[in-house]
Amino acid sequence: MSDDPRLLAGRYRVDELIGRGGMASVYRGYDTTLSRDVALKLLKRELADDATFRTRFRLEAQAASRMAHPAIVRVYDAGEDAETDADGTTHPVPYIVMELVHGTLLKDIVADGGVPVADAVRYTDGILEALEYSHRAGVIHRDIKPGNVMVTPAGQVKVMDFGIARAVSDSSSTVAETTAILGTAAYFSPEQAKGESVDARADLYSAGVVLYELLTGRPPFRGDTPVAVAYQHVSEAPVPPSEIVEDLPRSVDAVVLRALAKDPFQRFQDAAAFRQALDATLSGKEPTKRELGALTNELYGPNPRQAAETARTLRQLSADSTMKRTQAGPPAAWIWAGVAVLAVLLVSVLFWVVTMRAGTAQADATRTVPDVTTMTYDRALSLLQGEDLTADRENVTDDTIAAGNVVRTDPEAGTTVTTGQTITVYVSTGKETVAMPSIVGADQTSAREAITTAGLLVGTITTVNDPTLVAGTVISADASDGTLSAADEIAVGTTVNLKIASGKVILDDLTGYTVDAATRELQALGLTASTSDDPGCTASATPTVETMSVAPGEVPIKSTVTLMVCSG
């Protein structure tokens, strides 16, 4: 048998096992291409054999890989390898490559009981910080629990496994099957337990369960089976943490009860609001027991547990055949009292059922618009369709967002809308462009006006000597990226530099030149040459220029220069 280390995709070396969970095994690894330590999560066979799961897993891992935040364990890569069994059969092995984090799982920190309030607040705030970032990116975790949270030696909270829960739940047919895969239902939101669609507020509920466990050392609901726990999430009110740990401030109770509301619309609506309320618990005013009771009644109804106990007691009394009557029949007052109690009980149960159905219908009929800003349109479309929303694309110019990426949506991110509503997605086409106006050959004033009218900026103006053009005539136009021609498409706001004619030429000193040579020089400059005899000096066999009527230097174009020639 070969002792060579296993390589995934010919790149990732698999080293020792460092963790094992219900869905996967985690190994220390090494990226041989980028020369860095990584963590490799290899999914178990019962998940790997599901083709639907593999597809969903790859898409969700790609979404998670785009998130870069100090409170989130980075996902570097995801892929699929193959493994051959002893009998020669081959099966797929999906894997993800993650940042290797050194630290302690939060579930190990709370294994021995609750932690101090300040630590519980700090750990939960770190989780909410990660959720605040991921929710803005349109990614819902769906499986927040202490086993998915790492605390580094420096105290930094790191949340992991973004996207895996959705891949599992979308590939599982029942809540029981999903629960078996994820390992526990203790941190499920009520809407997850009922198999309904979820949004970011499901993560906030799970974060509230983690906060409860950090404060008390136990989750708010416990049972013999996951289904029993899921039922409690849906129908029972949690005991306030201060009734379990007496020295806890009641201000913490208020935050926990709000986070664990059954109705998502009664919870904190985003992670930022949860964090703000959590930060205020250590310094804010504590509510009274009466105020906490009113909050409990608002969020969970008039003591549903007591109502259930009353109904159970009535059933037991009606079925008890061992009780003996001490009189011929009950007094009439007792009969009417019993009828009244039963009537009130029936009305209460009916009201609870109608309210629950109405709340469920309302939750099913609404969605929260995800934040898809700066994403590609295809990714934004996928997220919106995943929330049962329709996208209508509108192209707009934008100076900061790359072409093809989303600028904004209407309604904006975070808005609650109805299922199936059309969301207008504004997609950048890049900077606004304009055709370069035709200015070559025009005068300077007209050129400046044409540039400004087109939404461009006039840059530097350089004068150039040209023997054929009058002063102020535009010779050429250019920008930083090269010469511009008429009809070239350039970005609005581009600076255009001009070269214009000076209306002059440089005249050299032609003294001593022969008349023919001097004449050729003047004609090359577009100047007119004329000669004049000077009888005051002695003529030579080959006439030469004695003096010029115009001094050397810059002279206006098309000027006449008289050459003085000796004729004495």
Which amino acids are annotated catalytic? 143
Cβ–Cβ under 8 Å, residues 81 and 8: yes
Starting from the edge strand earliest in sequence, which strands make up the sheet with 24-31, in order? 6-8, 12-20, 24-31, 36-43, 90-99, 75-84
Angle, helix 250-259 to helix 200-216, in steps of 10 degrees: 150
Encoded tokens for 435: 């055709």
Nearest to 413 by CA among 378, 374, 376: 374
Find where tokens 């390589």 sit. 7
Q: Is 156 helix (H, G, I), strand (E, B) or coil?
A: coil
Q: Is 554 helix (H, G, I), strand (E, B) or coil?
A: strand
d(CA 126, CA 448): 57
Which residues are CB-neighbours of 477 under 8 A, at least 6 positions away?
Answer: 436, 439, 440, 447, 483, 484, 496, 497, 498, 499
Q: Is 555 helix (H, G, I), strand (E, B) or coil?
A: strand
d(CA 401, CA 373): 9
User: How many CB atoms are closer than 10 A to CB 378?
Assistant: 8
User: How many CB atoms are closer than 10 A to CB 347?
Assistant: 10
Which residues are CB-neighbours of 121 under 8 A, at least 6 positions away?
Answer: 278, 279, 281, 282
Cβ–Cβ under 8 Å, residues 402 and 408: no
Starting from the edge strand earliest in sequence, which strands make up the sheet with 390-396, in order? 390-396, 422-428, 406-410
d(CA 189, CA 204): 9
Beta bridge partners, 507, equal 553
d(CA 473, CA 461): 12
Q: Per-residue DSSP letters for 401-468?
A: SPTTBEEEEESPTT-EEETT-EEEEEEE--S-EEEPP--TTSBHHHHHHHHHHTT-EEEEEEEE--TT
Amino acid 189 reads: S
Distance set, CA 495 to CA 90, 449, 453, 461, 481 (Å): 63, 14, 13, 11, 10
Which residues are CB-neighbours of 474 under 8 A, at least 6 positions away?
Answer: 439, 440, 441, 442, 443, 444, 447, 498, 499, 500
